[in-house]
């Protein structure tokens, strides 16, 4: 598990943060206002936190007096009806309807008005305007839009208060009220907020949901999406002028009671489905790359969780008690998207901004909801997990929680069903992608929880493996890849034989992501053994390898790695040529990995000689991993074949190895030098003349590499030089190499190989550009020394050597520049003396 950052010391206390609904009397006492009458059914809207006034004091209270609604002044002045003054009119507050007692309401409900009178009353108040507005063409005027919403609310209130027989559902359907509100919302500009229309529209939708919920059937999703688009994409609050901040806040908060009304007014048995529909879209917005959109969506999720905890759980419990004989227990509140939602909140909580705080608040409430609702329905494994992590729960949940996703996930784990745990894992895997806006540290922390108890969390191995295969190519962050590799190994350990078979069947190596998965799976001995054993225990799996195709590569290589496979099952290794020449580096690497395991068997190592030319060609690959794996295969083959057979390939192999002494990868340098030493030792007694020239060519590179910054490369070079000197019967050179007298080796080479000085000069020049300073210094020294032993002491040759050294005069290292300047000066002075001597000789003649 990654160590938590030092600044993550923030704690949150649940008991002090869960909002409890206040009674009207408590709210009035706190606000210093006189007590208000109890709210009626149509007024049951959820006032969001931060609103400056309760819902009945805003749009929902407009026209509370029928007299006020029917007055000519009100009808003739739309602006007046939508103004704040009209909303708070003393006349409206003091009207008989506004001050009617519950007894009076009950009396009105029991004595319904005559249908004709009801129609006349509605027509005189709101119906006429609504119908005229719907039929009209001038719908975009702000005053008319606001009055349209006001009339809808007034009509709903009038019908609700008086118990009128007017069929509101038919009226809404006939005049397409919901569609008209939706169309007006979609016309609102998404880049600015100038009026209260969006706020009023969502409040009106809430009133419709409370009064005539049937009118919204089949239209809630479209309504929600219109509201989301209209509100979520507004500019950040920091960009809003100060004078519009209040309007901005009210508009944002108006969405919360609307969503709560949708849930409250649906049938109790459909609550989970309704919450699923709401949370599914909110979760999409919560994953937005736009931080403002993300914050608004997470805030809506937090407010909804507060509503569920404060109002909803108790109502469901009461419902279950009344219907315990005929209904299942709904306190579980099983929402299919809950796992994804919790996974998202776990990851988001890893941050340090306000969104992480909001995510924490939502998690606290969801923990309370889930733990209370599922306490009596836990399975045995859930109880065992909860008991195992009891100390963590008692110390951190639900009272105090440190802000680490792994700890929060562990605390939730004992109350989550398998499908929810799976969704959390899949959500974390999606967050590991490079394109994801989620914090990779948070996603890794969630997966660490699964790695600590894989049998509990990783219950659906094939689904998780498929998601990894899908996302592997888009995960490159180092920490994310390490976490993913650990997860793959755990999954392989948990896989059944049938799952191994399925993975082999549906993960063709031509798929680069499948190759990446197999590269990890087959890299560890324990997982490789598991896969191979699963293959060999099932006879039908062996039959998969009868046809030579790309898709059988992994299966064939896995079978070849079994030492007890018969020669018939082994097949012809020549089929591996197609794998070794595959255009994909990952494919070539996978083939060589399989061959490296196969080559550990002496019998199979001899059979692999058929494809040695292709393996030798792999030494020239541009991928360092492919070259390194080819060296390992060749080392195994050379160590397990007879000396007579080794001699036939020694010359060709030695020539391929020489360029690798200077490879940029220190591992490739080390293994190529070690393999060269093994090849030379294998033919030491034969001393083939054709090999002598190659061994001669290795002396100078081995001498230079004795000064390599990598200690393992320097050591391997010294040991290889000893063997090369013995092969060439150079006793002094062998002694100097054994005693590590590197300062004398260069001069020894020049003294004993006078005829090869020109060759040594050519070999040493590339080292002037080597990345290692020590090798560039040694190259300058050796070239200056070789100039003295050169048989060609002509002025032209001296100038050529000086020209080569001048490139080192611009070296980034001062020591190299200084040594190059001194060497050039010495060579120039010798050149001048030689020229003067020749001039005197000519003069004498």
How far apart CA 711 and CA 709 sit, in angstroms, is 6
- Average pLDDT over the chain reads 75
Which pLDDT score, from 0 to 100, does residue 831 have?
Answer: 66
Low-confidence ranges of the chain (pLDDT < 70): 1-125, 162-166, 312-333, 390-403, 497, 500-576, 578, 584, 586-587, 590, 642-648, 685-688, 831-845
How do residues 666-687 score in pLDDT, each as one tens digit?
999 999 999 999 888 887 766 6
Which pLDDT score, from 0 to 100, does residue 262 have?
Answer: 93
Taking CA atoms, 349 is separated from 63, 343, 371, 426, 604, in Å, by 45, 10, 20, 17, 55
Phi/psi at 12 (nearest 5 deg)?
-135, 140
How far apart CA 450 and CA 197 sit, in angstroms, is 48
How far apart CA 335 and CA 279 sit, in angstroms, is 9
Q: Residues near 614 by Cβ (< 8 Å), separated by ≥ 6?
A: 576, 577, 580, 581
Which pLDDT score, from 0 to 100, does residue 417 have?
Answer: 92
SS3 content of the chain, % helix, strand, coil (to 5): 75, 0, 25
How far apart CA 793 and CA 100 sit, in angstroms, is 122
Which pLDDT score, from 0 to 100, does residue 92 have?
Answer: 34
How far apart CA 573 and CA 633 sit, in angstroms, is 14
Which pLDDT score, from 0 to 100, does residue 815 have?
Answer: 92
Which pLDDT score, from 0 to 100, does residue 383 have?
Answer: 87
Helix 731-738 to helix 742-752 angle, to the nearest 10 degrees?
A: 170
How far apart CA 603 and CA 557 sit, in angstroms, is 16
How do residues 482-494 score in pLDDT, each as one tens digit?
898 888 888 877 8
Which pLDDT score, from 0 to 100, does residue 490 have?
Answer: 86
**Quick one: which of 819, 831, 725, 748 has its CA closest to 787?**
831
Which pLDDT score, from 0 to 100, does residue 315 have?
Answer: 61
Q: 99: how many CB neighbours lie within 10 A of its CB?
A: 11
User: Do the Cβ atoms of 480 and 525 come closer than 8 Å?
Assistant: no
Q: How many alpha carbons lie under 13 Å from residue 109 in its C-beta half-sphere?
A: 11
Helix 142-162 to helix 197-211 angle, to the nearest 10 degrees?
A: 20
How far apart CA 362 and CA 688 sit, in angstroms, is 79
- CB-based burial, 146-176: b 16+ in 10 Å, e otherwise: bbbbbbbbbbbbbbbbbbbebebeebbeebe
């Amino acid at each position: 598990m990654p160590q938590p950052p030092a600044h993550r010391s923030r704690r949150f206390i649940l008991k002090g943060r869960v909002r409890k609904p206040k009674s009207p009397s408590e709210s009035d006492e706190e606000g210093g206002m006189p007590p208000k009458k109890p709210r009626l059914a149509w007024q049951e809207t959820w006032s969001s936190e931060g609103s400056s006034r309760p819902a009945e004091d805003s749009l929902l209270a407009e026209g509370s007096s029928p007299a006020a609604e029917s007055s000519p002044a009100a009808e003739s002045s739309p602006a007046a009806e939508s103004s704040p003054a009209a909303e708070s009119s003393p006349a409206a507050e003091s009207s008989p309807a506004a001050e009617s007692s519950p007894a009076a309401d009950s009396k009105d409900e029991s004595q319904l008005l005559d249908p004709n009178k009801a129609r006349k009353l509605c027509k005189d108040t709101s119906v006429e305007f609504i119908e005229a507005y719907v039929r009209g063409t001038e719908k975009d005027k702000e005053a008319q839009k606001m009055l349209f919403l006001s009339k809808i609310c007034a009509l709903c209130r009038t019908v609700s208060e008086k118990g009128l027989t007017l069929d509101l559902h038919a009226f809404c359907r006939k005049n397409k009220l919901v569609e008209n509100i939706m169309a007006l919302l979609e016309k609102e500009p998404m880049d600015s907020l100038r009026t209260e229309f969006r706020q009023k529209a969502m409040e009106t939708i809430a009133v419709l949901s409370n009064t005539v919920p049937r009118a919204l059937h089949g239209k809630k999703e479209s309504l929600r999406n219109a509201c989301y688009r209209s509100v979520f994409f507004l500019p950040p609050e920091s960009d809003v002028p100060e004078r519009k901040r209040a309007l901005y806040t009210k508009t944002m908060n108006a969405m919360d009671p609307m969503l709560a009304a949708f849930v409250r007014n649906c049938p109790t048995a459909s609550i989970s489905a309704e919450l699923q529909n709401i949370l599914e879209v909110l979760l999409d917005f919560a994953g937005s790359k736009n931080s403002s959109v993300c914050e608004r969506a997470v805030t809506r999720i937090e407010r909804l969780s507060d509503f569920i905890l404060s109002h909803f759980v108790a109502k469901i419990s009461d419902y279950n008690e009344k219907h315990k004989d005929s209904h299942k227990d709904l306190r579980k509140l099983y929402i299919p998207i809950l796992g994804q939602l919790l996974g998202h909140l776990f990851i988001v909580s890893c941050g340090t901004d306000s969104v992480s705080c909001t995510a924490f608040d939502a998690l606290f409430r969801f923990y309370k909801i889930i733990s209370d609702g599922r306490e009596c329905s836990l399975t045995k494994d859930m109880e065992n997990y909860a008991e195992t992590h009891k100390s963590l729960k008692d110390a951190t949940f639900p009272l105090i929680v440190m802000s680490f996703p792994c700890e929060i996930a562990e605390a939730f784990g004992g109350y989550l069903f398998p499908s929810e745990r799976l969704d959390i894992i899949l959500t974390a895997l999606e967050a590991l992608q490079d394109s994801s806006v989620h914090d990779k540290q948070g996603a890794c922390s969630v997966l660490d929880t699964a790695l600590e108890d894989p049998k509990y969390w990783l219950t659906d191995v094939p689904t998780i493996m498929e998601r990894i295969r899908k996302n592997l190519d888009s995960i490159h962050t180092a920490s994310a890849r390490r976490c993913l590799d650990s997860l793959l190994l755990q999954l392989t350990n948990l896989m059944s034989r049938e799952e191994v078979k399925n993975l082999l069947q549906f993960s063709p190596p031509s798929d680069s992501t499948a190759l990446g998965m197999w590269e990890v799976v087959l890299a560890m001995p324990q997982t490789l053994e598991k896969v191979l054993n699963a293959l060999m225990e099932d006879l039908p799996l062996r039959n998969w390898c009868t046809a030579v195709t790309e898709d059988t590569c992994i299966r064939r290589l896995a079978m070849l790695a079994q030492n007890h496979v018969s020669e018939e099952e082994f097949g012809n290794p020549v089929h591996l040529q197609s794998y070794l020449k595959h255009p994909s580096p990952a494919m070539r690497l996978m083939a060589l990995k399989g061959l490296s395991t196969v080559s550990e068997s002496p019998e199979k190592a001899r059979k692999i000689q058929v494809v040695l030319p292709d393996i030798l060609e792999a030494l020239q690959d541009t991928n360092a991993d492919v070259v390194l794996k080819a060296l390992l295969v060749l080392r195994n083959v050379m160590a397990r074949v007879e000396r007579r057979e080794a001699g036939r390939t020694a010359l060709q192999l030695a020539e391929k190895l020489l360029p690798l002494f200077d490879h940029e990868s220190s591992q490739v340098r080390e293994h190529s030098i070690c393999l060269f030493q093994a090849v030379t030792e294998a033919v030491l007694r034969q001393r083939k003349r054709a090999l002598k020239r190659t061994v001669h060519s290795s002396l100078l590179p081995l001498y230079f590499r004795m000064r390599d910054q990598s200690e393992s490369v320097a050591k391997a070079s010294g040991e290889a030089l000893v063997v090369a000197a013995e092969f060439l019967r150079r006793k002094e050179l062998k002694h100097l190499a054994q005693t590590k007298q590197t300062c004398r080796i260069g001069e020894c080479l020049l003294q004993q190989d006078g005829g090869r000085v020109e060759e040594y000069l050519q070999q040493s020049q590339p080292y002037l550009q080597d990345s290692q300073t020590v090798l560039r210094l040694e190259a300058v020294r050796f070239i200056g020394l070789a100039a003295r032993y050169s048989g060609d002491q002509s002025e032209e040759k001296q100038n050529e050597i000086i020209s080569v050294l001048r490139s080192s005069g611009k070296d980034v290292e001062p020591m190299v520049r200084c040594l190059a300047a001194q060497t050039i000066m010495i060579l120039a002075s010798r050149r001048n003396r030689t020229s003067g001597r020749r001039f005197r000789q000519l003069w004498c003649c």
